[in-house]
């Protein structure tokens, strides 16, 4: 029998258009008694919140507040303050949870770890998956260095732990996820990794990550340096942000369909050679 550990879904939203309804649809059939979906909206004027309220407003698991905020992190903190369950899932208003993933998450939560982590994807509006990521090491040093392929929507977090480390920092507008991960990593949390693809990050023209390169790099560097404990680690932090910049600048190429096709063909070709080294 599937475990029924209830979850609180924190959904920050602002003019999310049709994506907000798609996000809720991705979890609707996976909800159990006691779950709550908390939409914290920053005062949208595109009708997105009105549409989901009209559709789900009478459901016991649904709640929505629309009010001015200081940005995504502030909205997340407001939603966190409302959460009543022992575990939260941070689900952005244009991302999704994959079918069946929450069954595995709830099963893993029976043992009461601090975090449950799964695999994640980046996908386009047409449904094409650009890349699938497996989470790596969850540690302070990993976040200072190259990162750990972590996507916020592929985690269930112990609510009390997130609150203990200070919640969401409204000073950050773009890298509040890296900031939260770094602070959580300092506590050396217990983690259960599930093999399933948990969450998907939708990459589209209005995505923050598609349009705000320099602010992202600035915040990422600030966070990495804040958690560095030596001159060597500070050097590693700056190097990591430089590589991060290169990654962002080349993202349009790496997300192109032709690139993915060629990359996958090369990988298949390499795997067919028993002594070859994957590039």
Whether residue 260 contacts residue 267, with contact meaning beta carbons closer than 8 Å, is answered with: no
For the beta carbon of residue 213, count every other beta carbon within 10 angstroms.
15
- For residue 181, the SS3 value is helix
Distance CA 20, CA 28 (A): 12
Classify residue 191 as left (phi > 0), alpha (psi -120 to 50) or beta.
Answer: beta
CATH topology for 7-205 is Spore Coat Polysaccharide Biosynthesis Protein SpsA; Chain A (3.90.550)
Say what the pTM is.
Answer: 0.84
What does the pLDDT average to over 49-73?
96
- Tell me, what's the pLDDT at 266? 40
HSE of 204 in the Cβ direction (CA atoms, 13 Å)?
14
Distance CA 61, CA 211 (A): 34
- Tell me, what's the pLDDT at 239? 87
Q: Please return the burial class of 212, using the count of CB atoms within 10 Å of its CB with bins 0-12, 13-18 and 19+.
A: middle
HSE of 212 in the Cβ direction (CA atoms, 13 Å)?
13
Which one has a higher pLDDT value, 208 or 12? 12
Which of 134, 226, 124 lies closest to 172, judged by CA?
Answer: 226
* Percent of residues, the chain, with pLDDT higher than 70: 82
Torsion angle in degrees (nearest 10) through CA of 241, 244, 245, 251? -170
Distance CA 260, CA 264 (A): 6
Q: Where are the domains of the chain?
A: 7-205
Kindly report the average pLDDT of the chain as a whole number: 86
- Tell me, what's the pLDDT at 278? 29
Q: Please return the burial class of 276, using the count of CB atoms within 10 Å of its CB with bins 0-12, 13-18 and 19+.
A: exposed
- Tell me, what's the pLDDT at 30? 97
Which one has a higher pLDDT value, 109 or 270? 109
């Amino acid at each position: 029998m599937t475990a029924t550990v209830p979850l609180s879904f924190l959904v920050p939203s602002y003019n999310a258009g049709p994506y907000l309804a798609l996000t809720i649809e991705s979890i609707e059939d996976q909800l159990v008694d006691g779950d709550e979906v908390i939409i914290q909206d920053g005062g949208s004027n595109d009708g997105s919140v009105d549409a989901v309220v009209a559709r789900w407003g009478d459901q016991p698991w649904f709640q929505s507040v629309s009010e001015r905020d200081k940005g995504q992190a502030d909205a997340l903190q407001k939603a966190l303050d409302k959460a009543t369950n022992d575990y939260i899932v941070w689900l952005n208003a244009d991302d999704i949870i994959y079918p069946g993933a929450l069954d595995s998450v709830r099963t893993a939560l029976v043992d009461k770890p601090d975090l449950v982590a799964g695999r994640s994807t980046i996908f386009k509006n047409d449904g094409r998956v650009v890349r699938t990521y497996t989470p790596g090491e969850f540690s302070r040093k990993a976040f200072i260095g190259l990162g750990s392929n972590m996507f916020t929507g592929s985690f269930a977090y112990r609510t009390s732990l997130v609150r203990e480390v200070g919640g969401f920092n409204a000073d950050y507008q773009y890298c509040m996820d890296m900031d939260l991960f770094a602070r959580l990593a300092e506590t050396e949390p217990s983690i259960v990794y599930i093999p399933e693809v948990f969450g998907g990050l939708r990459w589209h023209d209005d995505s923050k990550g598609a349009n705000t390169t320099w602010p992202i790099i600035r915040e990422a560097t600030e966070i990495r340096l804040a958690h560095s404990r030596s001159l060597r680690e500070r050097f590693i932090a700056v190097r990591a942000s430089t590589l991060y910049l290169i990654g962002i600048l080349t993202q349009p190429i790496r997300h192109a369909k032709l690139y993915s096709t060629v990359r996958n063909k090369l990988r298949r070709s390499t795997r067919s050679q028993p002594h070859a080294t994957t590039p």
